Amino acid sequence: MKGKIAEVFDSVQGEGLYLGEKQIFVRFYGCNLGCRFCDTKLQSFMEYEPEELFQELKLYRDKYHSISFTGGEPLLQKDFLKELLKLTHKDNFKNYLETNGVLYEELKDIIEHLDFVAMDLKLPSSTGLGGFWEEHRLFLKIAAQREVFLKTVVCKDTTEDDLREGLRLIRETAQQAILILQPDSNEDRAHMRNKIENFKALCRRERVTVCAIDQIHKAIGVK
C-alpha cells in the first residue's frame, strides 16, 4: 500500500495551540476541498510504503513535540495513514493530525492512534464553499476522545451568523475545546483587528473559549 506524500521536513508549528513547538511534518498530497484562501498548492508527490516512510522519520534526530500529519487532507489516504500512525506510536512518537474536519468515518478508524487533533472549522462565508455543519458535528464528537482544538480562518467576508453556528456546534459537541481565530494574512490588518475583537467578544458571550493567533510561519520565514 503506497501513500502519496508531497514533502517531509522538520520545522516549528506555525499556527494553533502548539505554535512554536518543534515537529516533523508529513504533508499528504491531495485535498477534498477547495477553500478560497488555500495557500497549499501541491504540485507533486513521492510514493512511500508505510514502513519506508517510518524509517525516514526515524532519521530525524532532534527532540520533537510530535509528528504533524498535515496536507492537503491526510484522511483521504486513511489506510496508509493508519499503518504509519501505528508504527510511529509504537516507537513513542506523538501523533498530531491537522485536518479539515469533514471525513468523520475515516477519523473513527484511526482515532485510537492519535494524540492531538487540530481541526479546521470551515465557515462557508470564509471558504466560498457550502457548509459542513453535520460533517463537523460528527467529526468533533469523535475527535473529542483526544486532545482537540479548532481553528477557523477569518476573512473580510466571514459572517457573524456563520461564526454563531460554529459556536453552537462546539458548545453542543465538545464544550471544552478551544477555538482559535486566524485572521487571513492577505486582508487589511486594521480591518481584521476590529473584526477579530468583535468575534472574540461574540465567542465569549456564547461561552466558547477563544483566542486569536496569526499564522506565523510566513512572518518568520519558516515552512
Binding segment for ligand SF4 (CB under 6 A), chosen from 30-38, 56-64, 84-92, 197-205, is 30-38
Between 1 and 38, CB nearer to ligand SF4? 38
Cβ contact 66:21 at 8 Å: yes
Under rule CB under 6 A, residue 100 binds ligand SF4: yes
Cβ contact 138:167 at 8 Å: no
Contact residue for ligand SF4 among 3, 14, 16, 71 (CB under 6 A) = 71
Contact residue for ligand SF4 among 3, 14, 50, 72 (CB under 6 A) = 72
Between 52 and 134, CB nearer to ligand SF4? 134
Cβ contact 154:199 at 8 Å: yes
Nearest to 68 by CA among 47, 95, 91, 86: 95
Contact residue for ligand SF4 among 8, 31, 144, 202 (CB under 6 A) = 31
CA pseudo-torsion sign 182, 184, 190, 195: negative
What are the grid coordinates assigned to 212, written together?
486569536
What are the grid coordinates assigned to 171, written together?
458548545
Between 84 and 102, CB nearer to ligand SF4? 102
Nearest to 47 by CA among 77, 5, 78: 5
Between 153 and 208, CB nearer to ligand SF4? 153
Cβ contact 132:101 at 8 Å: yes
End-to-end CA distance of the chain: 28
Provide the minimum distance between the beta carbon of 160 and ligand SF4 in the complex, in angstroms, as a whole number: 22
Under rule CB under 6 A, residue 201 binds ligand SF4: no
Between 66 and 152, CB nearer to ligand SF4? 152
Provide the minimum distance between the beta carbon of 28 and ligand SF4 in the complex, in angstroms, as a whole number: 9
Interacting residue ranges for ligand SF4, rule: CB under 6 A: 31, 33-35, 38, 40, 71-73, 100
